[in-house]
Structure 1
Amino acid sequence: MSNSEKLYQEAAGAIRSSECMLALTGAGISVASGIPDFRSPGGLWSRYDPQAVASDWALENNPRQVWEFLLEAVGMIAAAKPNPAHESLARMEDMGYLKAVITQNIDNLHQRAGSRKVIEFHGGAGTFYCHKCKKKYNQQKALELTRKDIPWLCSQCYGVVRPGVVFFGEQIPEQALQETRRLVLAADLVLVAGTSGDVAPAGTLPRWVKEQGGRVIEVNLGRTSFQNISDIRLDEPAETALPRIVEAL
């Protein structure tokens, strides 16, 4: 048996013996779906200043520039499809092993893959509402917009329509934080996939689980901030490693 096969078997054993397993995911899990990490070379933040196009200040002061960015981002996310990593986590939930996915992603790919319990720390790009009066809008309208239609303004109060994501300068939804705290207190295992752990507070969750006696399985490429706390580490793409863990289960 190869060393990598031993790690898959060890991961499967840890999952089978867990009573409350959570998954923490980030941008790396969606790269194979055609959504590059915004922070990576070639990602959106290499071409846009996030404070200028994805902040509460920008919504108030430069809505057209915000929507120039959103035309590209929303189209890219809508065109993406779940990959084997997303599908594997949904399968683990179906098998009764995974209690919830906590994600930093805004692409809704976990839900589209079949995951039912998903906590979105940064909201989701599939919903839209008026920043001023909160009137809700359909995603399809956003996909039909052209440059001459932006910024998208509310038909009711003429405020700026925005996606249901957490922009820079905004708070993580309190409901997401409260539900995460409840789950983490009960968790004895966390599966980390596609996130380096550099962004708080999501990056602190595996440490909470570890400090209360739980275990950490990490599926990531390259160095991360979890290396010193991971009990089992698979240095492979999530779309390759997670299906093999499911197979081992």
Structure 2
Amino acid sequence: MNEALDRLVSAVRDADSTVALTGAGVSTASGVPDFRGEDGIWNAEFDPADFRIERFLSDPAGFWEDRVKLHEAMFGPEIEPNAAHEALATMESRGWLDAVITQNTDGLHGEAGSREVFELHGNAGRVVCIDCGRKLDAEPVRERVRDGERPPRCDCGGLLKPDVVLFGESLPEAIFAEARRLADESDVFLAVGSSLAVEPAASLPKAGARDGVLAICNFDPTPHDNRADLLFREDVTETLPALVVRLDA
């Protein structure tokens, strides 16, 4: 790993723009369960069909009851940013990283201190009114659901929805367009903890690696491995901090 890290350090130092794409493998290190893995949420007690936009619209009360249960199964009080989140925040603060594009909805990049974060699938820490667009902190709304308010509503009377992309919804066009631009213009594209199998996020490494360096850090193989300039089959909580140490040297 040392030689590959040294090559990555050189690429980042020479780059005008470095962008990171993060997936579930960054969050699982904080204790957030994966969705599709062997012990993933969808293989346990939850059915992804219950979290489709159609179900939210047709049965918002039942949707919210299940949504609170899902949240409690995924995000315990012990969940906090790990060394990989912190390393990416450090890279940004020191000018080595332009932005983080994430497939995760847990908000841990922001908690770790990253400022330029593009959340492709939204943020589970927020809710949004489907009528007026107002956004609120999610936890008080979940507490209202626990107390029997199903479905929870905005002050305007509109339904409140988790501010995440549900099954059957498209990614926010403006956010994905900006993510695509960042990937397109990057000299180094660092894909971390992502299977790179879920579209449209899986198309970003193709843009990012067009003329620059594609580095992938993931335990399992990805469809882009044969195109990667640098490939790390290492723990993200070890690889990214080691990258920071070398950049600091």
TM-score by length of 1: 0.90
2:224 equivalent in structure 1:
226
For the residues of structure 1 that align with 2:124 and 2:195, how far apart are their CA atoms? 22
1:71–1:145 Cα contact (<8 Å) kept: no
2:180–2:207 Cα contact (<8 Å) kept: no
**Shift of the alpha carbon at 1:45?**
1.3
Structure-2 change in CA distance of 1:146 and 1:154 (3 Å):
closer
**Shift of the alpha carbon at 1:182?**
2.3
Q: Say yes or no: does 1:64 pair with 2:61.
A: yes
2:37 equivalent in structure 1:
40
Gaps of 5+ in 1: none
2:22 equivalent in structure 1:
25
1:196–1:226 Cα contact (<8 Å) kept: no
AA matched with 2:80: K
1:108–1:124 Cα contact (<8 Å) kept: yes
1:77 equivalent in structure 2:
75
Tell me how many residue pairs correspond in the alignment: 244
For the residues of structure 2 that align with 1:146 and 1:170, how far apart are their CA atoms? 23
Q: Describe the superposition over 1:8-42 as per-residue Cα deviations: whole angstroms up to 9, x where unpaired.
A: 21221121111111000011100011101111123
**Shift of the alpha carbon at 1:185?**
2.6
Secondary structure in 1 aligned to 2:225? coil
For the residues of structure 1 that align with 2:183 and 2:230, how far apart are their CA atoms? 19
1:209 equivalent in structure 2:
208
AA matched with 1:243: P
**Shift of the alpha carbon at 1:143?**
4.3
2:3 equivalent in structure 1:
6
Identical-pair percentage: 38
For the residues of structure 2 that align with 1:33 and 1:135, how far apart are their CA atoms? 30
1:245 equivalent in structure 2:
243
**Shift of the alpha carbon at 1:159?**
4.2
Structure-2 change in CA distance of 1:65 and 1:21 (3 Å):
same
AA matched with 1:176: I
TM-score by length of 2: 0.90
1:188 equivalent in structure 2:
187
AA matched with 2:178: E
Question: Superposition pairs for residues 131-146 of structure 1, below 5 Å?
Answer: 131-145=130-144
Structure-2 change in CA distance of 1:171 and 1:88 (3 Å):
same
For the residues of structure 2 that align with 1:72 and 1:244, how far apart are their CA atoms? 37
For the residues of structure 2 that align with 1:66 and 1:145, how far apart are their CA atoms? 14
2:19–2:186 Cα contact (<8 Å) kept: yes
Bigger mean CA deviation after superposition, 59-68 or 11-20: 59-68
**Shift of the alpha carbon at 1:136?**
3.4
Gaps of 5+ in 2: none
**Shift of the alpha carbon at 1:148?**
5.2
Secondary structure in 2 aligned to 1:107? coil
**Shift of the alpha carbon at 1:152?**
3.2
